[in-house]
Chains A and B, each alone.
Chain A
Amino acid sequence: MTQSSTILATRGLSKDYPGARALDGVDFDLKRGEVHVLFGENGAGKSTLISMLSGADRPTGGHVEMNGERMDLASVRDARARGISAVFQEFSLIPQMTVRENIFLGDEIRSGPFVNNSRMRRESRRLLEELDFDLPADRPAHLLTRAGQQMVEIAKAFRSELSVLILDEPTASLTDRETDRLFALMDRLTQRGVGIVYTTHRMAEIRRVGDRVTVLRDGGRVDTLPVSETDDDALVRLMTGREVGAIFPEPTPNEPGGEILSLKNVSTVDGSVAEVSMNARRGEIVGLAGLVGSGKSEAMRAAFGILPLAGGEIRYKGGPTTARWSPGRAIRAGFLYLPPDRKAEGLMMERPARENMALAALNAAPFSKGAFLTRAKERQRVAELADWINLSPNSPERDIGLFSGGNQQKAMLARGLSRPFDLVVFDEPTVGVDVGTRAAIYRFIVDLAARGAAVVIVSSDLPEILRLTDRAYVFHSGRVQAELPRSELSEEAVLSHFFRKEDAR
């Protein structure tokens, strides 16, 4: 392991956000021509590490080295100039612009004060040919498939000399064929000596493309080891760590009560859910496992009345839901869905925590009486909820946007207790929250079920499904692949359904 083969390295890299340490003294190195996988749970620090390697964010401690030289990346542009390019899950394309315009955006080829369109056309064609991308340079980006858009992002990275490519969960929304093409491209790049930092949640991909893997947990590096010397079990053990026992509450098997929700052969108009049948009963925690885009979240959104149905039947509390079923009706009937993305769908960032916590319960006692709010009782109830979830700082009148991510998440989930709900669906309840908050959220969920509500947890986080649920459905490609009772819930069992198709490829 000579020094010269290392392109990029970090020394004691740390990042503090207000109220949370996202990255804690991480040493990491990337060699020429290798694919180095970053592996870890949500919130383990992968994204933070990547954002600092790519210049999108600056460390609060430690530093980044390139070819043994210490450097300070001021911006994404700066990193790009030094040969480091990142392709994030959220693309930075202008949808209305063509492939060519996007490739050269911010770095247009000019002659004098004017853009040189003919040279850019030639340049972009050469670039796309060299990368073997089958992309029409004149097509607007929004007409491309997701894989196509990703190729444009990668092509952008190649505008200048590239030595480090960072790919953040690049396959999350690609089809199998598109994934194959991406992997073929990665092979060609590594042969040229480009080092690739790669994040993924899929174990099968680690084996397929990775040379080495670094496991992160709670912002720290747990271990770095060659992929050939490890296996799925070892990686999951490293990823979840010893605290698993501590952060998950003791399982309290409840005798499940009556059925609250049942889906029979449900399909959605957008095709994300196909002939799904499942149910949830009182006092029971049901898990929906599967990869992103497997339809597990969409099935619940359909049940809540957000996604229109193409077929099948949804029964809530014994009766079929009508064509006018909507979130408003569902909530009045005691069914709450808590979305995965608190910023986009969960919270009003510029309103106080109190209003955010009370929002779904305002039209019922104790929050209102007749047409009027009962503000004193609202404050009192919210104070109880804030104590319950351990809101920190415990000041419900503060704008929710000023709280840390974990506390925002807890405040949103507290809606589940704002009125007596019979069914609460948690969609990715612990995305981007630290371990302490996670433990609090798990206790909250278990408690809700103990009070007699039916609870559904939609999660891409495997330990959550294994340790928290009484029963789990595994989704793949919009369908239920398997239903596993607690006695059969094991990593191998769930993963075998996660990856069944991928491994057979």
Chain B
Amino acid sequence: MKSGGAPSGDFTLPLKKLFARLGILPFLLIIAVVAFSLMSENFLTARNLTNVLRQSVYLTIVSLGQMLALLSGGFDLSVGTVLAISSVVAAMVMAGLHAAMPEAVFLAISLGILSGIAAGTMIGVANAVGVAFAGVSPFMMSLGMASVGFGVALYLTGGVPVYGMPVEFGDIFGFGAWFGLPSPVWVAAALAILVAVLLYGTPWGRYFYAVGGNPRAARLSGINVKGTLFATYTLCAAFAAVAGVLLTARLDTGEANIGASMPLESIAACVIAGVSLRGGIGRVENVVLGALFIGLIQNGMNLARIESYLQTVVLGGLLILAVVADQIRLRFVAALKD
């Protein structure tokens, strides 16, 4: 029974066990690092890796939120729109206040950030109401809200980028560095720790897993299923909104056209990291690695001068590969169980 029928001399068995436990991500990570260091000598340098870190920040933050949605058994296709809305609103408020009161720079920045995050979170509240209380499927609800949000963002700006934010905003949150690491990296790290504490350290966190694992069992165990779903989609959008504001600082403009690739990339980051599409399974540290992996792939492909159109192809392929690998992994788990 111990090896599920495989002969004891099977040299792939340890590898299979490792795969069953860790999933596909460690293997992909090793392959990617080896391949890209062969393709470009600039890849494995401290400077480039810091770059990867900085570029992956936005996806990491969005993936943290997306993970919550996946854990609870759904997903959120409107995260890209949330980025756009929060970017546009933060930029407009900030630019407006800055123009009215040029000396109150930090007031303008604080209020801008707050209103951007609040505006983005409202998309999540709408998703939450639809999914938790009206019983709309997460697919339809977030797809619909993606269109609504994108329309609103374009309407607010007329499709042109919003300029006029105080330079300090970009200096601090876009290009700043604290203790040698880019400032957005610190924000992402803080949020990741927050999610880890929430999921692993509080009863509330356990409820996300329970609701995704078996909603009826969760209800009969006294868990507020609707409340948990509400928190899920609200938090997911709040995270995406933070990413949107940080990205705005980096771009120095409010853009309605950012974030289009975020739904796919964030779901890919989670799934590659072993978050189950059926809900109830997933770990924060793996999701952070998953997002970093996608950043690494994009960076590596840039260095290897792979065309950006082709990069999209690779990304989609990776997502499908991750899902297939997860199916195979489940089969291994069943075969290897003692």
Residue positions of A touching B, CB distance < 8 A: 304, 306, 327-332, 337, 339, 344-351, 355, 359-360, 362-363, 367-368, 371-373, 375, 402, 415
Contact = CB atoms under 8 A, between A and B. Distances in A.
B220 A327 contact: yes
B214 A348 contact: yes
A348 B280 contact: yes
B267 to A, nearest CB: 19
A38 B78 CA distance: 55
A350 B281 contact: yes
A488 B218 CA distance: 39
Given A367-B203, A372-B201, A348 B222 contact: no
Contacts of B331: none
B21 interface: no
A362 B204 CA distance: 9
B151 interface: no
Contacts of B204: 371
B217 interface: yes
Contact of B217 (A332, A347, A362): A347
A306 B278 CA distance: 25
Contacts of A330: 222
A348 B213 contact: yes
A373 B210 CA distance: 15
A350 B220 contact: no
Contacts, number: 79
A491 to B, nearest CB: 32
A355 B206 contact: yes
B239 interface: no
B282 to A, nearest CB: 11
Given A371-B202, A373-B203, A373-B206, A359 B224 contact: no
B221 A349 contact: no
Contact of B224 (A328, A339, A350, A371): A328
Residue in B210, B222, B337 whose Cβ sees the most chain A Cβ within 10 Å:
B222
Nearest to B276: A350
B226 to A, nearest CB: 10
Contacts of A344: 216
Contact of B203 (A304, A346, A368): A368
A415 B217 CA distance: 12
A190 B221 CA distance: 48
Interface in B271-325: 276, 278, 280-281
Given A348-B214, A351-B280, A372 B202 contact: yes
Contacts of A306: 219-220
Interface in B197-250: 200-207, 209-210, 213-214, 216-224
A415 B221 contact: yes
B201 A373 contact: yes
Interface residues of B, number: 26
Contact of B221 (A329, A359, A373, A375): A359
A414 B158 CA distance: 60
Contacts of A332: 222
A352 to B, nearest CB: 10
Contact of B220 (A346, A355, A368): A346
B270 to A, nearest CB: 16
The 7 A-B pairs with the shortest beta carbon distances in the complex, nearest first, are A348-B213, A331-B222, A362-B203, A360-B221, A328-B222, A359-B221, A345-B216
Given A330-B222, A371-B202, 11 more contacts: A327-B219, A328-B223, A348-B214, A348-B217, A368-B203, A371-B204, A372-B201, A373-B201, A373-B206, A375-B200, A415-B221
Residue in A346, A362, A373, A402 whose Cβ sees the most chain B Cβ within 10 Å:
A362
B206 A362 contact: yes
A347 B220 CA distance: 10
A350 B202 contact: no
B71 to A, nearest CB: 11
A217 B214 CA distance: 33
B222 A360 contact: yes
A426 to B, nearest CB: 13
A359 B202 contact: no
A270 to B, nearest CB: 17
A349 B214 contact: yes
A151 to B, nearest CB: 30
Residue in B203, B204, B280 whose Cβ sees the most chain A Cβ within 10 Å:
B203
Nearest to B203: A362
Interface in B109-148: none
Nearest to A332: B222
A339 B205 CA distance: 24
Contacts of B224: 328
A367 B206 CA distance: 12
A359 B201 contact: no
Contact of B213 (A337, A349, A363, A372): A349
